[in-house]
Amino acid sequence: MATLPLAGLPLTGLKVVELGHYIAGPFATRLLADLGAEVIKVEPPEGDPHRGWGSQVNGHAVWFSIHGRNKLCVTADLKSAEGKARVRALLARADALVENYRPGYLERIGLGPEALHALNPKLVIARVSGFGQDGPYRDKPAFGAIGEAMGGLRHLTATPGVTDHPPPRCGVSISDDIAGIYAALATVSACWAIKADPAARGRIIDVDLVSSVFSLMEGMLPEYGLFGRIRQPHGAALPTAAPTNTYPCADGKWLCIGGNSDLIYKRLMAAIGRPDLAEDPRLRDNIGRCANAAEIDAAIAAWTRTLPAAEAEAAMEAAEVPVSRLYDMRDCAEDPHFRARQTVMEVEDPLLGTKLLHPAAPFRFDGVSPPEMVRWTAPAVGAHDDHVFNGLLGGKA
């Protein structure tokens, strides 16, 4: 896989520098890189700490193969004059910087927005942190779990009525990922504004983990403001739509069913042999079904318990009811739809010395196949030092 831009990707030509570690900032730049941007990831000489996370092959983290793909990896010691000079040289030619250090760190080492805009007035600076660049919690440390907890999500993942076990996290670093998506979107938006107005200056973007999670809380804030109502955990159900839940099957597996539109609800009830519940005046619209969700869920569960999950799933599909078994990673990796769309694809990783499965970028563009978007997997620490500092910069750093 060559370290060359791919024609046909929308961000080809956009120059981005990443001063990030762990997840949120690098996740944002991974999206930008997948979209074709030239992303130069600046790491300390020992590398991003995330290179040591998870399972490893030949001493290299498997996860990092995805996390660092399509990026040019260079090294710079931000504590040294030489390292800071390297970064300044990179930022002088860049369109955007994405960083996720704690607020104030870049200012302390002379790389804050004021200094960078004096160097490059059009530079877009996206800053990702735990609590944001201002406010009373600005200087508190945070990881993704704190974003879930304070943003309101972890409260909702509790099992209703269970108080002796902590509410579980969703299983991935969702706070970091959401913040990364928002940072990528905001970066592209700010760069677009500069393209539209040649006189525009670079903007400073402030994204934080807590606000990113909080933004997902749907109508819960106005409901509280108007009615003093605090949404409580509902397990696998939703208080605003019914029926939508996860139901036990005869083989011990679980089936997720969404039958919460009026027409789909009728088809669902017919498929499980309960047309009486479709005709019940109490249950003809979503408001009535939400008020009587327990009764509906009990009827669906009574039916799913009589069948293996695959058989129940097939019956729901025949009735055109949204349905899926709860997939584990084997199910995802082997599913024919994932494979046909190349959502799961085999990629050669020279650093690991083997082929491995990569998830495709979550967006498609006509004329570019998902495998083509992975120009290269994550390189070694400093793999592109010579290419970047002597090639792209002409030895000026």
Q: How would you label 39-61 residue by residue, b for 16+ Cβ within 10 Å and e otherwise?
A: bbbbbeeebbebbeeeeeeeebb
Based on the number of CB atoms within 10 Å of its own CB, is 269 exposed (0-12), middle (13-18) or buried (19 or more)? buried
Rounded alpha-carbon distances, angstroms, from residue 60 to 76, 173, 350:
20, 20, 11
Phi/psi class of residue 163: alpha, beta or left (left: φ > 0; alpha: ψ in -120 to 50)?
A: alpha
What's the CA gap between 98 and 19, in Å, rounded? 6
What's the CA gap between 80 and 159, in Å, rounded? 50
Task: Exactly one of 34, 48, 176, 349 is catalytic; name it.
Answer: 176
Show the DSSP H helices in 133-231 as ranges: 144-150, 153-156, 174-196, 209-214, 220-227
- Phi/psi at 324 (5° precision): -160, 140
Coil vs helix vs strand at 72: strand
> In this structure, what token pair is assigned to residue 303?
């039916």
Whether residue 177 lies in the annotated active site: no
Active site residues: 176
